[in-house]
Amino acid sequence: MSELTFDQMLDESFKTIHNGDIVDGIVIDVKPDEIILNIGYKADGILSKAEYSNNQALDLTTCVNVGDEMEVKVLKVNDGDGQVLLTYKRLAQDKGNKKLEEAFNNQTVLTAKVVEVLNGGLSAVIEESRVFIPASLVSDTYEKDLSKYLDQEIDFVITEFNPKRRRIIGDRKQLLVAEKQRKQKELMERIHVGDVVDGVVKNVTDFGVFVDLGGSDGLLHISEISWGRVENPKKVFKPGQELQVLIKEINENKIALSLKFEGSNPWVDVDKKYAIGSVVTGKVARMTDFGAFVELEPGIDALLHVSQIAREHINKPSDVLKVGDEVTAKVVDLKPEDKKISLSIKATLAPIEKEKPKEEAVSDDDENEDFKSVDIEAEIAKEKEKEAKEAAKKAEEEAAAAAREEAAEETSDEEPKEE
C-alpha cells in the first residue's frame, strides 16, 4: 500500500460537501456586499448580499461580525473559480415555509413585521418567507390608506399556502372579527336597559351618532341627543369625543342610546314654569318663514309666530329678528303633552286706546282680544297652505309658458318657405 502524499492527506482532512448540503461556517471576513466563511472545506464559502437577504439596501457589515457562526446552504461546490457559493436566504426561506405550512395546517396565529405596502395589500416576512395580506383582509372595515401599517407588527393567520406558486396568503380580518364578536358578547352580557355607560364617538351622521361602547357600537339618534331640537349632530359631536350615554333599548345586537337622562327632563312641571299668561325671556335659536323659535332654557324651545312679533305686518321674522337676539314675550298657548309653547310679543304691548262711549267700560277681554284670538297651529297650517298654493301657481305658469313656446316652435316649422 503506497503512502499518501501531503496534499492527499490534506484533502482527506477536509469534509466532503455537495450542492444542497446544509453546513456550519465561521465568518472570517465581512464586506458591505459579501461574507466569507470557513466551512471546513478546502475552499472558503462565499455568501453574497443577494443570497443573504431580499433587502438589497442592507450593509452586511452591520449584520454580522468576524467570528460569528452561521448555518448556510451550499448552492454550488465550485463556481469555476474554486469557490463555494452559499445561501443564507434560501435556507431561512425553507425554514420559514415549514413554519408557515405548520401554521396553515393548525391555523396558528402568526406575528410578523410589514416590510412593504403594495397597491393591493401588505407584504410581511417570516424568516425570509413573504406573506401577502390582501387589502380586503387587512381590516374588518374599509381602509383606503394602508401606509400606517409599514414597519408595524401585525397578527394574521395563513389561509392559503402554495410556495411553489409563491402564493402564501395571510388574513388579519378574521382575527379582528373574532375579537370584536368576543367583546360584543361580553358587552351584551354586561349591559342592561337603563344603564349609564361610557363610550367614544366613532362616527357622526346627519341622523345621529355612532358610539363605541367597547365591544359594540350603539346609535344615539338625533331625537335622543337633547330634549330640545338639534339641527345637525355634526355641529355638536366629533369622532374621538368621550360620552356618558343611557342605554335606552337593546334589540338583539342593536343598541339604542340616549342623552335624555331620567330627572333631566326640562318639560317636567313646565305648566308651572311657563303658565299661560306669564311673561318670559329667551334667545332666538332658529328661524323659519312662519316664525322664530325661542330657547327658554336648554331643551325647551317656544314658537313666536310671525303674526305675534309686532302689531304691524311683517313678511318674515328675519326682517326684525336674528339668531341670538333676546326677546321678551307672553305665553299664549301651552301643550305640555306635545312639548309645544306659543309666545306673543304683541301680547306684552300696551293696548291701543279706542274711542268708545263713556258709558262703555273697556274690559280686559277687549284689550286682550288681539292676541287671544290667534290660533298658532292654524296660522302655521295657513302658512303652509299658502306656500303650497304659490308653488302650484308657479308650476302652472311655467307649464303654460312651456306650452306656448312649444306651440310657437311648431307654427314656425309649418310656415312654407319662400321659393
Asked if residue 278 is part of any domain, the answer here is: yes
Question: Are the beta carbons of 235 and 178 closer than 8 angstroms?
Answer: no
What's the pLDDT score for residue 412?
A: 52
What's the pLDDT score for residue 397?
A: 82
What's the pLDDT score for residue 344?
A: 94
Residue 125 and residue 74 share a domain: no
Domain that holds residue 169: 104-176
What's the pLDDT score for residue 4?
A: 52
Domain boundary pick from 258, 281, 296: 258
Residue 322 and residue 254 share a domain: no
pTM passes above 0.85: no
Judge whether residue 211 has pLDDT over 80: yes
Q: What percent of the chain has pLDDT over 70?
A: 85
Residue 29 and residue 72 share a domain: yes
Average pLDDT over residues 4-23: 67
Residue 293 and residue 235 share a domain: no
CA dist., res. 327 & res. 287, Å (int):
13
What's the pLDDT score for residue 380?
A: 57
C-alpha cell at 384: 303652509
Centroid of chain to Cα 191 = 24
Residue 254 and residue 275 share a domain: no
The predicted-structure confidence for 59-75, as pLDDT tens digits, reads as follows 999 999 999 999 999 99
CATH number, domain containing residue 314: 2.40.50.140
Count of CB atoms situated within 10 Å of the CB of 206: 9
CA dist., res. 154 & res. 160, Å (int):
18
Pairing relation of β-strands 340-344 and 300-305?
parallel
CA dist., res. 227 & res. 232, Å (int):
14
Closest-CA residue to 46 (of 55, 33, 37, 56)? 37
Residue 275 and residue 252 share a domain: no
Asked if residue 99 is part of any domain, the answer here is: no
CA dist., res. 246 & res. 259, Å (int):
6
Residue 75 and residue 129 share a domain: no
Residue 252 and residue 295 share a domain: no
Asked if residue 94 is part of any domain, the answer here is: no
Question: Are the beta carbons of 206 and 221 closer than 8 angstroms?
Answer: no
Asked if residue 346 is part of any domain, the answer here is: yes
CA dist., res. 333 & res. 375, Å (int):
9
Closest-CA residue to 229 (of 156, 311, 295, 279)? 295
Largest CA distance in the chain: 162
What's the pLDDT score for residue 106?
A: 94
Contacts of 147 (CB under 8 A, 6+ apart): 117
Please tell me the total number of residues recorded for the chain in this structure. Answer: 419
Query: Phi-psi category of 87—alpha, beta or left, where left has phi over 0 and alpha has psi -120 to 50?
Result: beta
Average pLDDT over residues 292-310: 91
3-class secondary structure for the chain? CCCCCHHHHHHHHCCCCCCCCEEEEEEEEEECCEEEEECCCCCCEEEEHHHCCCCCCCCHHHCCCCCCEEEEEEEECCCCCCCEEEECHHHHHHHHHHHHHHHHHHCCCEEEEEEEEECCEEEEEECCEEEEEEHHHCCCCCCCCCHHHCCCEEEEEEEEEEHHHCEEEEECHHHHHHHHHHHHHHHHHHCCCCCEEEEEEEEECCCEEEEECCCCEEEEEHHHCCCCCCCCHHHCCCCCCEEEEEEEEEECCEEEEECCCCCCCCCCCHHHHCCCCCEEEEEEEEECCCEEEEEEECCEEEEEEHHHCCCCCCCCHHHCCCCCCEEEEEEEEEEHHHCEEEEECHHHCCCCCCCCCCCCCCCHHHHHHHHHCCCHHHHHHHHHHHHHHHHHHHHHHHHHHHHHHHHHHHHHHHCCCCC
Asked if residue 170 is part of any domain, the answer here is: yes
Residue 39 and residue 10 share a domain: yes
CA angle 90, 91, 92 (to 5 degrees): 90
Asked if residue 253 is part of any domain, the answer here is: yes
- Highest average pLDDT, of 3-7, 165-169, 261-265, comes from 165-169
C-alpha cell at 329: 314675550
Count up the domains in the chain and report the number.
Answer: 4
Residue 159 and residue 215 share a domain: no
Closest-CA residue to 321 (of 333, 332, 310)? 310
The predicted-structure confidence for 216-254, as pLDDT tens digits, reads as follows 999 999 999 988 778 889 988 999 999 999 999 999 889
Domain boundary pick from 33, 59, 87: 87
Asked if residue 382 is part of any domain, the answer here is: no
Residue 53 and residue 122 share a domain: no
Domain boundary pick from 307, 336, 351: 351
Count of CB atoms situated within 10 Å of the CB of 418: 4
Asked if residue 376 is part of any domain, the answer here is: no
Q: Which amino acid is at 188?
A: M
Residue-averaged pLDDT of the chain:
85
Residue 29 and residue 74 share a domain: yes
Query: Phi-psi category of 305—alpha, beta or left, where left has phi over 0 and alpha has psi -120 to 50?
Result: beta
- Highest average pLDDT, of 3-7, 140-144, 311-315, 329-333, comes from 329-333
The predicted-structure confidence for 353-402, as pLDDT tens digits, reads as follows 665 555 544 444 444 445 444 455 565 566 667 777 877 888 788 888 77
